[in-house]
Structure 1
């Protein structure tokens, strides 16, 4: 079951009022990296209610408002508006599932009709449209067929899931640059940021749920100081 939140620890310069960097676990790092795998339509769906800048939202709404009569019979609006996404990449518990409405589950249909010589229920004809006509008996194919998913690779003991390894802690910069964390790199960064008063530094643990994820996504498209804008504004 996917987690509902992940967390990371911010190091804040209270004098400069900025986030210097964040300390993050594997789950949080996977969470941020997998945002890159989100289809554009899912991103627009999340951001359009937040006042998205640009014209892609208009394209999205055009599909929403398009009458079904103009759409190919074997297609639905959700094909474009809610494209399928692997919520648990390689068995990861990254909570991408909570970021947007789940795409409509694809349904398949077979013929449950009969003719004088055989039962079409046992023939290998399947359609994704309940209006399709069986080529054998000319009956409408309205009998639901249950889809069976292949075995999940999450069952493999050798795979801890996700994208990055969990043996180290990761450093996430204010501009979302990510790198493995070390004591030396932390000291070098404090010097780079010209931090003179260590007493002005403050740690803050933040949880990332759906609301924070949307804010991070929006800020990442507009700012170079994402963590500061989201958590200190």
Structure 2
């Protein structure tokens, strides 16, 4: 997959009101939306730019960028805050790659690799050292640390599984891919069914079915960033991103 990845989203549009009633989407789109919850505030500001942010939080980042390194306890502290990294398990490969590389790298933090030296751990203090930089020198035996370790994390049942190696019965990601999901204009997400669709039409107060139109749109990096920005402001996210763009 590359940054040109496009996911398909099917919209149900009220053409009279020029409004998206709801969207029909698969696992990858829902995984992407849920992955937005894991983005640090600093990364959000960086992605959608200071000028587009509501409020003054962007000024904090600007202040951090402008402050001379003399005032920091270490240069790394400034670097870490400007490029925050987090650990999120098993996010969708497709969904994450809708965002620029820097954000995707942060979200896939749990896939970071760790290495040790190849010396016999039973008879040395080498077991005290690991590194995420392949080829670093072991402080104990001075050998290069190139033997990859396997990181494990507990699942909901308390058992452990290897991070980044086991996809499970439903693959990578957050939600299962055996159902289709309904995404409301305000990004409320629910499993879709025939009955729920009828109920939604009633909830949206649709009287004339002839004004409804099905529209399939692509969700890529550009649209992903627009969704991120719109999700922080109005309650008509899908309408603002996809219909406003079409009208322009």
Task: Work out which of the two has the higher radius of gyration on C-alpha atoms and give 1 or 2.
Answer: 1
Aligned match of 2:27: 26
Return the offset for 1:226: 0.9
**Could you tell which deviates more after superposition, 19-28 or 42-51?**
42-51
Structure 1 residue runs without a partner (length 5+) = 107-121, 129-134, 137-143
Deviations 1:46-103 (A, max 9, x none): 122552121111110111122223222362423111111357x426314324524526
Tell which deviates more after alignment, 167-176 or 184-193: 184-193
Matches within 5 A, 1:216-227: 216-227=227-238
Match of 1:204 among 211, 215, 220: 215
Q: Secondary structure at the match of 2:10?
A: strand
SS at 2:93 equivalent: coil
The two structures have a TM-score, normalised by structure 2, of: 0.70
Which one has the bigger helix percentage? Answer: 2
Quick check: 1:29–1:170 contact (8 Å CA) kept in 2?
yes
Q: Output aligned runs, 1:33-182, within 5 Å.
A: 33-73=34-74, 75-86=76-87, 89-90=89-90, 92-102=92-102, 148=148, 150=150, 153-156=163-166, 158-159=168-169, 160-182=171-193
Length-normalised TM-score, structure 1: 0.75
* Cα separation, 2, equivalents of 1:150 and 1:167: 29
Matched residue, 2:206: 195
Residues 157, 37 of structure 1: CA spacing in aligned structure 2 closer, same or farther, 3 A cutoff?
closer
1:232 and 1:149 map into 2 onto residues whose CA distance is 48
Which 5+ residue runs of structure 2 have no aligned equivalent? 113-125, 133-138, 152-161
Partner residue in 1 for 2:117: none
Q: Where has structure 1 moved over 6 Å in runs of 4 or more? A: 103-106, 124-128, 144-147
Give aligned pairs, total: 206
